[in-house]
């Protein structure tokens, strides 16, 4: 069933585990995520980016994800969230179409502009029952900055995080502790004491790790101990999906039924999601 993202995060927080927030761009990926959740009897969040809203159409992707959840998951709570909304307009688009959770990513704007942009979104979203995630500090992408950054300049300042949450009223915070998006090289070891400090100062805020694709059990366990309740995963799903597509796209390929390709790609994504949700829920295993 389509469920409130906030409730899913609250449940995770109260029970000391984390959930995955997985990016989907089409029916097959949504099915892969939902099927993994049903098989593992574990809640998760499906998220779409601005690019996906543009690719599929706002209403259509909403309907597709909702239909997949309604038809394939009667009992497992699955949330639906806008990932990396870069503008107020994107947030409005997502809320108008039906999402009950949005991210406003104004981290690149600098501290005060980030506060102003986030506060504006919170003031719009909260009266509608929509929860809001923001990012403080930078979780870098490959190609944007040098692969060997001065992490001190990127990572979330704990006192700023406290001030940011108080000023904006945001529900969740994407933190930078040495994590990075996609193929960007992460810091050798996440800054655990920084995360601990952030959690101590804003204990009621849901902490989110972006760039969760390459996170492994022991790191996930350390993060969950320090208040992280959600890991965003995109790249590993894309790799699983595309690897299957690539196997079929060579000159000698005789497969003419695209459903063969798509169902294999769907299964490959499902397998990845199953492993991730298991790890986020039980990282000590």
Stretch that binds Zn ion, among 13-21, 115-123, 154-162, 208-216 (CB under 5 A): 208-216
177 three-state secondary structure: coil
Decide: is 281 part of the binding site for ligand G3H (CB under 6 A): no
Residue placing its CB nearer to ligand G3H in the complex, 31 or 232: 232
What is d(CA 232, CA 255) in angstroms, rounded to the nearest whole number?
A: 34
Which of 79, 140, 211, 283 binds ligand G3H (CB under 6 A)? It is 211
Residue placing its CB nearer to ligand G3H in the complex, 45 or 161: 45
Residues 157-186 within binding reach of ligand G3H (CB under 6 A): 181-182
Stretch that binds Zn ion, among 24-32, 150-158, 224-232, 268-276 (CB under 5 A): 224-232
Which of 6, 194, 210, 276 binds ligand G3H (CB under 6 A)? It is 210
Backbone angles phi, psi at 129, to 5 degrees: 75, 20
What is d(CA 157, CA 119) in angstroms, rounded to the nearest whole number?
A: 19
Report the interhelical angle of 235-248 vs 258-281 (nearest 10°): 150
Decide: is 266 part of the binding site for Zn ion (CB under 5 A): no
Checking 6-15 for CB contacts under 8 A at 24+ apart, the result is 6/100, 6/101, 6/131, 6/171, 7/77, 8/43, 8/44, 8/45, 8/77, 8/79, 9/171, 9/172, 9/206, 9/229, 9/230, 10/206, 11/43, 11/77, 12/43, 12/229, 12/230, 13/206, 13/227, 13/229
Q: Which of 58, 63, 83, 236 is catalytic?
A: 83
What is d(CA 80, CA 99) in angstroms, rounded to the nearest whole number?
A: 6
Min CB(103)–Zn ion separation in Å:
8
What is d(CA 80, CA 271) in angstroms, rounded to the nearest whole number?
A: 20
What residue 213 binds from Zn ion, ligand G3H, none (CB within 5 to 8 A, per partner kind)? ligand G3H
What residue 234 binds from Zn ion, ligand G3H, none (CB within 5 to 8 A, per partner kind)? ligand G3H
Min CB(235)–ligand G3H separation in Å:
3
> One symbol per residue from 10 to 49: x for binding ligand G3H (CB under 6 A), - otherwise; what is it?
-------------x--------------------------
What residue 212 binds from Zn ion, ligand G3H, none (CB within 5 to 8 A, per partner kind)? ligand G3H
Residue nearest to Zn ion (CB): 210
Nearest residue to 111 (alpha-carbon basis) of 68, 142, 156: 156
Decide: is 210 part of the binding site for Zn ion (CB under 5 A): yes
Read off the tokens for 175. 């933190």
Residue placing its CB nearer to Zn ion in the complex, 21 or 76: 21
Read off the tokens for 32. 């892969």
The H or E element spanning position 101 is: strand 101-104
Active site residue 191: no
Read off the tokens for 52. 């996906």
Min CB(182)–ligand G3H separation in Å:
5
Decide: is 82 part of the binding site for ligand G3H (CB under 6 A): no
Read off the tokens for 131. 């929860």
What is the contact surface with ligand G3H in residues (CB under 6 A)? 23, 83-84, 181-182, 210-213, 232-236
What is the contact surface with Zn ion in residues (CB under 5 A)? 210, 232
- Residue numbers annotated as active site: 83
């Amino acid at each position: 069933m389509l469920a409130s993202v906030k409730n899913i995060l609250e449940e995770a927080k109260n029970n000391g585990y984390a959930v995955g927030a997985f990016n989907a761009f089409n029916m097959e990926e949504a099915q892969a995520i939902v099927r993994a959740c049903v098989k593992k009897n574990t809640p998760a969040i499906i998220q779409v980016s601005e690019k996906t809203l543009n690719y599929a159409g706002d209403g259509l992707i909403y309907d597709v994800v909702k239909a997949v959840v309604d038809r394939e998951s009667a009992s497992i709570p699955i949330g639906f969230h806008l990932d990396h909304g870069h503008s107020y307009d994107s947030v409005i688009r997502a809320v108008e179409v039906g999402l009950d959770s949005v991210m406003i990513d104004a981290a690149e704007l600098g501290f005060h502009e980030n506060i102003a942009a986030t506060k504006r979104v919170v003031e719009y979203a909260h009266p509608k029952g929509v929860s809001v995630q923001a990012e403080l500090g930078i979780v870098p992408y490959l190609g944007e900055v040098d692969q060997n950054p001065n992490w001190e300049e990127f990572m979330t300042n704990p006192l700023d995080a406290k001030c940011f949450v108080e000023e904006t009223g945001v529900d969740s915070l994407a933190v930078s502790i040495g994590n990075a998006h996609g193929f960007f090289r992460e810091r050798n070891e996440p800054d655990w004491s920084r995360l601990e400090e952030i959690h101590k100062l804003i204990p009621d805020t849901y902490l989110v790790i972006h760039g969760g694709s390459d996170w492994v059990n022991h790191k996930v366990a350390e993060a969950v101990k320090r208040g992280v309740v959600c890991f965003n995963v995109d790249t590993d799903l894309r790799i699983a999906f595309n690897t299957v597509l690539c196997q079929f796209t060579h000159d000698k390929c005789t497969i003419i039924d695209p459903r063969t390709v798509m169902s294999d790609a769907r299964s490959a994504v499902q397998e990845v999601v199953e492993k991730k949700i298991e790890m986020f829920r039980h990282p000590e295993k």
